[in-house]
Amino acid sequence: MSSILKNLSSYDPATIPSAKGMRIGIVLSEWNPQVTHALFEGAVKTLLEHGCEEKNIIQSTVPGSYELSVAAQWLAEGENPDAIICLGCVIQGETRHFDFICQAVATGLTDLSIKFSIPFIFGVLTPENQDQAMARAGGKHGNKGVEAAITAIKMVALRKSKK
């Protein structure tokens, strides 16, 4: 569903499993910091609200969204997380650069999910402009960081239920 029809921060807390004991990595792009830091704050707040302990949230920062995949891999190799949330923002420009970056990150995170058998959450905004990005980073359409955290919790719980 398009975020224009849904608030990214809206969910029923009663339907969310406890995040107690979960180890969650967050890889954060420094590009578009006003946007990405808001996404990060939303994700961390949500994880804590659902029982994840602050000591179990492992953060790493990278220069841009393109670097999310390799940093997420390093985090998976070294920190043994249950899930990794990747947060970034790639704003459409006048060139095809946007297409290459978005495709590379989406493919990279999918490949990592399969390789490591843990969820690598795609928390990357792909708006047409800064206003759309801000609307999805705590503005009128909610916060994609909240949605990414909820997705991570649900996926970890699903994985644990299958063991």
Which residue from 76, 24, 70, 69 is spatially nearest to 47, judged by alpha carbons?
24
| Position 94, amino acid | E
Q: Does the annotation count 97 as an active-site position?
A: yes
Residue tagged active-site, from 37, 50, 97, 141: 97
Q: Which residues are catalytic?
A: 97
